[in-house]
Amino acid sequence: MLVMGVDAGGTSTRAVLATDRGECVGFGRGASGNPTSSGIPVALAEVRRAIAGALDEAGATLADVSWIVVAMAGHDARGGASDWILDPLTQDGFAGTLTFESDLLAMYASGAVAPVGYGLVCGTGASAVRVEGGRIVATADGLGWLLGDRGSGFWIGRAAAAAAVDELDGLGPATALTPLVLQATGATGARDADGGEDGRSVALEQLVRALYARRPVQLAAFAPLVFDAADAEDPVARRILTEAGDQLVRTLELVSGTPGPIVAGGSIVSRGGIPQDRLRAHLDAAFGRQSFVLVDSGAAGATMLALRHAGVEVDEETLRRVRAGIPA
């Protein structure tokens, strides 16, 4: 029996073809497979491309696959429409069962098989879940850049942009973030107020125009600059990262209950630094010495969920085999 797990993210898509023992026999990649962020035509093409890559590597066809789990954000796994992907796959020869699952549940399943535990994702956005009996029973944040995503890459990047604007406008302290943000946006004008319009510096005028020309979520691109400045002991950058870590702690507290393993993913929490340190300190105090696992995608978890749906009894060894078979 073959099953397939598909991690259809907003940036990239990964498909894993596995046996009922969790041995990975095929792996494929695609670009954004989320219809919310990319539209159905693009998402479908990329999901099919990833699936085809995994099948080609194994010398298999869709007719050989008994169950497919597609994990993605923003899809109601309990009843969301699936015909946009199921119908084309059926035309390609798939006769098995297709199930959608939450990307957060897949992320948790990529790092733990315990029935009770926690998943925390912090990349461009941020959210936390509590898992019981293999299902999500509580969720916090994940509300998007306008209403939430506290402590996320967007949250950190926006704070960096605001710190640079505050310094140039005379509202905040000097910070190493200002030249970094100016360079990243191409604002090269004078930083004094003599040459600008309405008594503002040219640099501030250029920076404000450059920031408003971007989509808000693109401010997340400034987050790495904050880590760089914090490594150089810039107090403003360190304060931003400390607050980001505290925000993530509060989000996790909203779903906290019985102690269990914590699986974390996303560029902000995965890299070493202040946010991860704040999280680890909180978890040690709240839960004691629980397992803290970092994962880079939900591909292994989507595969584990596919195995469970297909009736396979999975354990830690199954997860080890799945993870070992997925290319870095």
Residues 40 and 166 in one domain: no
Output the pLDDT for position 225.
Answer: 98
Q: What pTM did the predictor assign?
A: 0.86
Report yes or no on 83 lying in a domain: yes
Distance of CA 181 to the CA centre of its chain: 24
Output the pLDDT for position 77.
Answer: 43
Residues 126 and 228 in one domain: yes
Residues 311 and 283 in one domain: no
Report yes or no on 127 lying in a domain: yes
Residues 167 and 310 in one domain: no
Residues 83 and 123 in one domain: no
CA distance 238 to 82: 44
Report yes or no on 185 lying in a domain: no
Whether residue 253 contacts residue 109, with contact meaning beta carbons closer than 8 Å, is answered with: no
- Give the tokens for residue 186: 């191409």
Residues 125 and 268 in one domain: yes
Whether residue 9 contacts residue 267, with contact meaning beta carbons closer than 8 Å, is answered with: no
Report yes or no on 209 lying in a domain: no
Output the pLDDT for position 242.
Answer: 97
Using the structure block, give the residue that is written with the tokens 């905040």: 172
- Give the tokens for residue 229: 């400045």
Output the pLDDT for position 197.
Answer: 65
Report yes or no on 192 lying in a domain: no
Output the pLDDT for position 217.
Answer: 85
**Domain hosting residue 30, numbered range:** 2-103+297-324
Residues 28 and 163 in one domain: no
Which residues fall within 8 angstroms of residue 74, CB to CB, at 6 or more apart?
Answer: 34, 36
Residues 320 and 258 in one domain: no
CA distance 48 to 90: 12
Range list of H helices, the chain: 35-38, 40-58, 83-91, 103-109, 144-147, 153-168, 177-185, 202-212, 223-231, 235-255, 267-270, 274-287, 299-309, 316-324
Report yes or no on 184 lying in a domain: no
Residues 282 and 301 in one domain: no
Report the CATH number at residue 236. Answer: 3.30.420.40
Q: How many domains does the chain have?
A: 2
Report yes or no on 213 lying in a domain: no
Residues 82 and 135 in one domain: no
Residues 131 and 47 in one domain: no
Output the pLDDT for position 79.
Answer: 45
* Residues with pLDDT less than 70, the chain: 74-81, 193-197
Residues 23 and 156 in one domain: no
Report yes or no on 234 lying in a domain: yes
